[in-house]
Amino acid sequence: MQASDRVLAWRYARALFLAAADKKEDGRVQQDIDLSRRELLEAMPTLRHPRVSTADKKKRIEDLVGKKVSPVTLKFLELLIDKKRFELLPMVASDLGKLVAEKNNVAKAVVRSAKPLSADAQQKLKDKLKNFAGKNIELEVKEDPELIGGVVVRIGDWVLDSSLRGQLRQMKEALS
């Protein structure tokens, strides 16, 4: 992946978001793109191959996801085929998710904890993060036994490390 691919994926995602928002289908299109990314994963080598004709690639997409996605999404997938940019689909899906979340005032928080968090603990953490970030929070909780104890929370570029491992690292830095 090149830096230019990241920029292109952002531009395609933004264009798709604007087109979907005009028709008030941004949430549906985001779900469709995620579905397409999953459904077309096995067909990706064929869809990227330069010797497979554009018509055959479009037919393959139509067969696999044509009935499951909106017309806006299907046209977008065909556009990626026409422009020979289908390999950008995973990055476009990620960027589109960020745009839709931003529009809906939702932030994704990735939480790593030493032990599984109970539903009550997750709700309390979600409430505290909502107050901190000023946005609705979508939690993704992962178990990480290397933390020893505590949690590490990442929301966008912001990281809160209240793990025992992080506290030990801070003490080591303060002592040296």
- Residue 1 has a pLDDT of 59
15-24, 143-152, 160-169: which range is least confident on average?
160-169
**Closest of 150, 132, 57, 48 to residue 90, by C-alpha:** 48
The pair of structure tokens assigned to 96 is: 């589109």
pLDDT in tens, 105-116: 888 889 998 888
The pair of structure tokens assigned to 66 is: 């044509």
- Residue 81 has a pLDDT of 92
What are the structural domain ranges in the chain?
Answer: 3-102, 105-175
Query: CB within 8 A of 90, min separation 6: which ones?
Result: 37
**What is the dotted CATH code of the domain comprising 3-102?**
1.10.520.20
pLDDT in tens, 60-81: 999 999 889 999 999 999 999 9
**Closest of 16, 64, 58 to residue 38, by C-alpha:** 64
Cα gap 88→9, rounded to integer Å: 6
**Closest of 59, 153, 69, 68 to residue 112, by C-alpha:** 153
Q: Edge-to-edge strand order for the sheet containing 136-143?
A: 136-143, 106-113, 151-155, 158-161
List Cβ<8 Å contacts ≥24 apart for 83-86: 84/50, 85/8, 85/12, 86/44, 86/47, 86/48, 86/57
N-terminal to C-terminal alpha carbon distance within the chain: 40
Per DSSP, 147 falls in state G
Which range has highest mean pLDDT (32-36, 141-145, 166-170)? 32-36
Residue keyed to tokens 């990620």:
94
Cα gap 40→140, rounded to integer Å: 24
